[in-house]
Amino acid sequence: MIVAPRETSMSGESILVVEDEANIVRILTMYLERENYRVIVARDGEQALEQFQVEQPDLVILDLLLPKVDGLEICRRIRRQSFVPILMLTAKKDETDKIVGLELGADDYMTKPFSPREMVTRVRAILRRTRHATSLPIAEGILDFGDLRIDVPKRSVIAEGRQVALTAKEFDLLRALASSPGKVFSRDVLLNQVWGYDYYGDARTVDVHIGTLRKKLEMQPSAPRWVKTVWGIGYKFDESGVALLQNGE
């Protein structure tokens, strides 16, 4: 009899489980595979970092108490290079680890013993949230809006015949907005999109950069043609390029 392989690895998102307790690994693997996730296991901190590089998982379940490199250090190292969602596991009642972990950029945590069912629910929720956060299109190539031409590969901008010299962040901000003309972006979404998922900055960072972007881009920064304020929400790119007076800006 030929046993068909279980359909787990091809279409599913991959999850790196970093845990040294065999029992927990076994249960997590069983529950996650049942949901069609592809499970990669690392049993210590060194393996975790190696596997992370090789497999580029969609989510990491990370136990904090591990041999060799501890979980918080792994979290820190992963965050230096990636916005991948991290769900921490902790056996401790100690709040400090959770707080430090969350400050280091973990997305959520669960305290042992946990229900594997709840774990799967959390994994699904985090993946849904991060897919949503990263699903906004970012344009490649040349964005041509008549008087405004944004050349993404060259990172050059020409507005009303002038070459506009933008900083990296100003350019990324303009590119993010102009990739979805008319769409209103909240400051938080722009922070995620331009500064990254783990950036713990003030939303006013966005306002400051919008301000400097407008000064360079717009002929009349107080009556911007392209980068417009949506009161109480955030900003949008207006491809029609009709100047609109922004009170007090």
Site residues for Ca ion per CB under 5 A: 20, 63, 65
Residue of 23, 66, 24 whose CA lies nearest to 45:
66
CA atoms within 13 A on the CB side of 133: 21
Nearer to Ca ion, 70 or 239 (CB): 70
> Smallest gap, in angstroms, from Cβ of residue 49 to Ca ion?
16
Give min distance, CB of 187 to Ca ion, in A. Answer: 38
CB of residue 77 vs Ca ion: minimum separation in angstroms? 18
Could you tell me the two tokens for 113? 């013993």
Which residue type is seen at 107?
D
CA geometry: angle 94, 59, 46, nearest 5 deg: 70
Q: Which is nearer to Ca ion, 18 or 210 (CB)?
A: 18
Nearest approach, Cβ of 69 to Ca ion (angstroms)?
12
Q: How far is the CB of 16 from Ca ion (least distance, A)?
A: 15
